[in-house]
Structure formats: C-alpha cells, structure tokens
C-alpha cells in the first residue's frame, strides 16, 4: 500500500501539476479518473472531492462508498483509500489539504468535528442542482485566491471559503442522512471521539497521556483487539494513532507561542518534557523549537 506523505507526491501520481503551496492544492477533474491505475493508499492530509463516478469502486477503510447516490466525498489523514477502475462523468474538483495549513486558524480544531470525514460515513454526498452551484461558487472563489497574486490575506480568505464548504456539506449530509443507520468502520470513529473528549476535558494534564489500555476500556475492547482493528482499518496501531493525535495538537499549540515547550508538554500529558521533544522530533523530523521557528519565521 502506498503512503503519500506530501501533497506533491499524490498530485504527481494523479497527473496534476505541482501544487502552488506545499500544504494545499486544488485541481479540476474533467470527465475521467486522474489515477493512473488501481490504487490502495494512505496519505497525511485531507481530501475533499467533488466528482460523479459512473463506474468503478471506491473504498474508505473497509467500507465501500455508495457513489451512485452522490457527488462529494471526504477523507482524512492516516486512513486507507482504495480505488479500482474509476471512471468519472462531468467535471469536478479535488482539494488536498494538510492540517498544518490550518494551524493557528479555528478550522484546525473545527475540521475534526465533521463526522463525514470518518469511516462510518459510507455514502457520498448527493447534491441538488442548487447545492452544486453553491459548492462550485465556493470552489471558484478559492481558486481565484489560489492562483491570482497571493498576498497576506489570501490564506485567511481561502480558509474562510473552505470552512463554508464544510458547513454546507454538514447541512446537506444532515438532510440526506436523516434515516441513515450506523454502518461498519465505527471503531476508528469512536476511538477518535474518545481521544477528542479526553483532551477537550483537560484529562491529559491531570491524568497524563491516554494509554492503549484506557482507550480499549472506553470502547469495551481488549487492548490487543483494539490495536488489531485499528491496524486493519487505518494501517496504524492504537499507540501510533495516540502519538499522531498528540503531535497534531502540539503543532497547533506551538504556533501560538503563548506557552513554553515544557508547558505544552505538561498540558498534553507528558511527565517528562524531553520525552515529548524526542517524540515530536521522531514524528516531524524537527524539535519543537525548530518547528516553531520554522513556522513563525
């Protein structure tokens, strides 16, 4: 299974031009799949795709997307995607978005609240003609900022329109899924919900990092079985997913410069700040201080 760490790698694989920003790209789809072949892959960024699939198969984790009923689908980092024999009809667009592009913006946190990024959602989003017009209008506004003389306001404007796309998607999904029943792939959804709740309540600062045993208890599973399920669904163990979550939160906190690195480590549940720094460097290739200086300078 391929693992795309950068947006440039996936854009190249799909035959798109190099992105104008390393953490964000958008491209038009014109009636055919841009994937060169059948693929099973993971990536380290979000994908927001607007396209009508007329043939082929698309799987998110173990769940097959019911693309016959919809136009849009949404995937998030570190989750397996399988595409087989895709054929498209009509034009569309695809947005690749690294969460580092969101740092310092409310969308960094808010994007995690949209449940249509989770495996549990197997139906693509169906759009009425009017709803398609709304999505295209927002995409075109983003494209204008993306291509035309970017300045210090461009990123904020792009994220504002992207936030609107997600809010409209939430509205349209709620309309579509009034009678939807829970489907397979719920393990990683509940795992992420438990992680979000643990950190939102401030338990990490009081109780320390959540352990695999703790997470397994929350989901009424044995630790080994939980990790096996997550490994099959995401390619990552429970401990790896905990670490990825913590590093993601740390990156956002480092941008603000409101706390020292030691304070951030303690808030995230580390008893030993040097251990936090070692884990951060292992996952990102930079120390927390180097990362902070790189982003802010």
Last residue of a domain, one of 149, 176, 203: 176
Mapped to the 3 state alphabet, what secondary structure does 229-263 carry? HHHHHHCCCHHHHHHHHHHHHHHHHHHHCCCCHHH
Residue bearing tokens 């201080």? 289
Last residue of a domain, one of 176, 205, 226: 176
Q: How far apart are CA 281 and CA 206, in angstroms?
A: 24
| Residue 48 and residue 110 in one domain | yes
| Residue 77 and residue 155 in one domain | yes
Last residue of a domain, one of 176, 203, 223: 176
Q: Which domain CATH number covers 280?
A: 1.10.10.60
Question: Is there a domain that residue 182 lies in?
Answer: no
Residue bearing tokens 């998110």? 60
Question: Is there a domain that residue 204 lies in?
Answer: yes
Q: Which domain CATH number covers 19?
A: 2.60.120
| Residue 170 and residue 198 in one domain | no
Residue 263: domain span: 187-296
- Bridging pattern class, strands 63-64 and 46-60: antiparallel
Taking only the tens of pLDDT, the chain with its 297 residues reads: 889 999 999 999 888 999 989 999 999 887 554 555 677 888 999 999 988 777 777 777 656 666 555 578 888 898 888 887 777 777 889 999 999 999 989 999 999 888 788 755 556 788 888 899 999 999 999 999 998 877 788 899 999 999 999 999 988 887 765 434 343 357 788 898 999 999 999 999 999 999 999 999 998 888 887 887 788 777 888 999 999 999 999 988 888 767 889 999 999 999 999 999 999 999 999 999 998 887 766
Tell me the helices (H) and strands (E) count for the chain, helix number first.
12, 7
Q: How far apart are CA 280 and CA 233, in angstroms?
A: 24
Q: How many domains does the chain have?
A: 2
């Amino acid at each position: 299974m391929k693992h795309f760490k950068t947006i440039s790698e996936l854009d190249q694989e799909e035959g798109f031009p190099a992105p104008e920003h390393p953490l964000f790209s958008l491209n038009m789809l014109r009636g055919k799949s841009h994937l060169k072949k059948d693929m099973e892959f993971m990536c380290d960024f979000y994908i927001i795709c607007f396209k009508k699939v007329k043939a082929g198969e698309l799987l998110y984790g173990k769940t097959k997307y019911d693309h016959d009923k919809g136009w849009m689908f949404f995937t998030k980092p570190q989750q397996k995607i399988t595409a087989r024999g895709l054929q498209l009809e009509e034009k569309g667009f695809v947005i690749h978005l690294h969460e580092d592009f969101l740092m310092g913006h409310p969308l960094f946190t808010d994007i995690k609240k949209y449940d249509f990024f989770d495996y549990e959602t197997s139906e693509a989003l169906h759009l009425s003609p009017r709803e398609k017009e709304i999505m295209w209008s927002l995409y075109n506004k983003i494209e204008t900022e993306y291509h035309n003389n970017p300045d210090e306001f461009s990123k904020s404007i792009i994220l504002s329109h992207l936030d609107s796309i997600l809010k409209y998607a939430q509205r349209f999904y709620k309309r579509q899924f009034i009678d939807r029943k829970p489907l397979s792939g719920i393990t990683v959804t509940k795992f992420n919900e438990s992680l979000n709740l643990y950190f939102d309540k401030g338990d990490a600062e009081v109780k320390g990092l959540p352990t695999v045993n703790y997470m397994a208890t929350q989901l009424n599973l044995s630790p080994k079985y939980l990790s096996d399920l997550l490994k099959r669904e995401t390619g990552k163990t429970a401990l790896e997913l905990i670490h990825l979550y913590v590093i993601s939160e740390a990156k956002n906190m480092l941008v603000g410069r409101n706390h020292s690195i030691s304070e951030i480590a303690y808030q995230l549940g580390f008893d030993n700040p040097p251990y936090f720094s070692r884990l951060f460097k292992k996952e990102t290739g930079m120390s927390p201080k180097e990362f902070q200086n790189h982003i802010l300078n």
